[in-house]
Amino acid sequence: MNKYAAQLEALLYVAGGEVQKSRLQHQLDVTNDEFSDAVNALGHARSGDSGLHLIETEAGLKLVTNPAYAELIETGKKDDDESSLTKPQLETLTIIAYRGPITKPELEHIRGVNSSMILRNLLMRGMVDETESADHLHTVYTISADMLQHLGLGSAKELPDYDRLHEETSLSDMVKSG
C-alpha cells in the first residue's frame, strides 16, 4: 500500500463514517490521479479476507467490516452492549445529552481529548445519533431516541438541570473560543 493509501485509510478510520471524496483529496493534498491510485490501492488492500473493506459511493468513501465476519461482530457487539460504560463513555454521553446537538470538534474541545473511538462505540450501541448539519458544517451528535427510552424520558429536556446545563455560558464561551 502506498503512502497516500495509508493516509487515506487513517482518515477514514478516524472519521468512522462516509467521507466525501473531494474532502479527502483536499486533506491529502494530492492530484486526481494520485487520489485515484490511493483509493485503488486501499480498495485492493482492504478486500478478500481483510477484516475491513472499502466502500466507494459516487461521492464518498467508507471503511466497513468484512461482511464475512458479520456473525463474529454481532457476538462481539452483543458482549459490548451488555458491558457497562466506561467513565470516558459516560462523560461523552453526558456532554452529548446536555449540549447536543454538538459537533465532534466542540465535544473534543470540552473534553480536551480525541473522542473518535468513544463516539463510534456510542453510535454502535445506539446511544447517540449522528446527522449532517448545514448550520454547523460538521456532523452533529445527539442522544438517541433509544437511549431516551432506556432512561424513561421523552426528551433530553427532561434530564435533571437540563436548562441550566444546556445553556451554561462558560461552556458556550469555551466552545466559541476554541
**Residues in the chain, total:** 178
Which spans in 50-115 are helix H? 70-82, 87-99, 104-111
- Give the closest residue to 141 by CA, choosing from 87, 112, 85, 101: 101
Write down the CATH number for the domain with range 84-177: 1.10.10.10
Asked if 130 and 140 count as a contact pair (C-beta separation under 8 A), the reply is yes
Instruction: Indicate the class that CATH gives domain 3-68.
Output: mainly alpha
Q: Is the fold of 3-68 the same as that of 84-177? A: yes
Distance CA 146, CA 148 (A): 5
Q: Give the DSSP H/E element, type plus range, for residue 20.
A: strand 19-20
For the chain, give every domain's residue range: 3-68, 84-177
pLDDT, tens only, 43-64:
999 988 899 889 888 888 988 8
pLDDT, tens only, 61-100:
988 888 888 888 777 665 555 567 889 999 999 999 998 8
pLDDT, tens only, 97-130:
998 889 899 899 989 999 989 999 999 888 999 8
Cis peptide before 101 (omega within 30 of 0): yes
